[in-house]
Amino acid sequence: MNSVAFIVIAILTLAAALAAASLPKLIHAALNFAVTFVGVAAFFFLLGAEFVGLVQVFVYIGAVAVLIVFTILLTRRDVDKDRGFNWSGVVVAVAVFGGLVWAILGTPSLPVVAPEIPALPVKRIGEVLMTSYVWPLQCVGLLLTAALIGALILVMEDREEVKKVK
Amino acid sequence: MTPTLQLFLIVSAALFCIGLLAALSRRHAIFILIGIEMMLAAANLNFIAFWRFTPQAEQATGVMVAIFSIAIAAAEAAVGLAMVIAIYRHYRTTNVDQLDQLKG
């Protein structure tokens, strides 16, 4: 594993994440959110999970980021009004980060170097998905269907309200 | 030197805490959703890192968990953004401080 690539990807990902969390304009934050997920996908490629990296790019940048931008445009009138920032969240986040780093550095079995493993082809992922993980796969399919129908029903306009407006 | 498991865990902890910061301190509902998505991505990074650093890689457990987690995160984003739009229609605001109808 290349340490230069690791450092570059880590700096890009964390800088974009910080920008997404702190920029006042919502649309800039959404674009930095997309860059953050490019960085996470690059981490997946670095770790040898190319399929998950591609899924990450398709799902997050292709779907979720576009969905967020559409929501920002639909609720646009409100965007520039609230600039509130709660500083107690910074304290909580720094405390959690300190606790996590303390736990990671205190675990003696963690500093291992990556072992040599065979590459994971997509064919193997498909086989595993259709044999040992077939019930989770069906459950996720059901969950996605229910979630998308629920999202549609949530944003459907009330018939009576539409009539009143007319 | 090559990056060890520790470094990946520290990067993912940093990403998680930035997501937590966005979810806790911003007042706009879409920012809170962005923070939650970042925390989920940090969890996925942990799954993949632990999968890569164990010798039994051909069972692909971490990859499978990460794929299912991405699918559930996508469902969560769709429902969450639909709720933001529904709330905006009712109250004409997406500032979570003003949504205090249930306050005792």
Q: How many domains does chain B have?
A: 1
- Please tell me the pTM assigned to this model: 0.88
Q: What is the CATH number of the domain that holds B51?
A: 1.10.287.3510
Q: What CATH number labels A1-80?
A: 1.20.120.1200
**Contact criterion met (CB < 8 Å) for B55 and A33:** no
* pLDDT value for A94: 92
Residue of A nearest to B55 (CA): A115
Query: A5 at the B interface (CB within 8 A)?
Result: no
Q: Which residue among A3, A51, A147 sits closest to B75, beta carbon to beta carbon?
A: A147
The ranges assigned to domains in chain A are 1-80, 122-166
ipTM: 0.89
Q: Using CA atoms of A76, A79, A80, A84 in order, give the dihedral in degrees to the nearest 10.
A: 170
| Residue range A6-16, pLDDT digits in tens | 899 999 999 99
Residue B20 lies in a domain: yes
Residue B36 lies in a domain: yes
The domain in which residue B42 lies consists of 5-93
**Contact criterion met (CB < 8 Å) for B86 and A143:** no
Residue of B nearest to A116 (CA): B55
Of B44, B25, B46, which is closest to residue B35 (Cα–Cα)?
B25
Query: A1 at the B interface (CB within 8 A)?
Result: yes
| Residue range A131-161, pLDDT digits in tens | 989 999 999 999 999 999 999 998 887 766 6
Give the integer Cα–Cα distance in Å for A44 and B63: 10
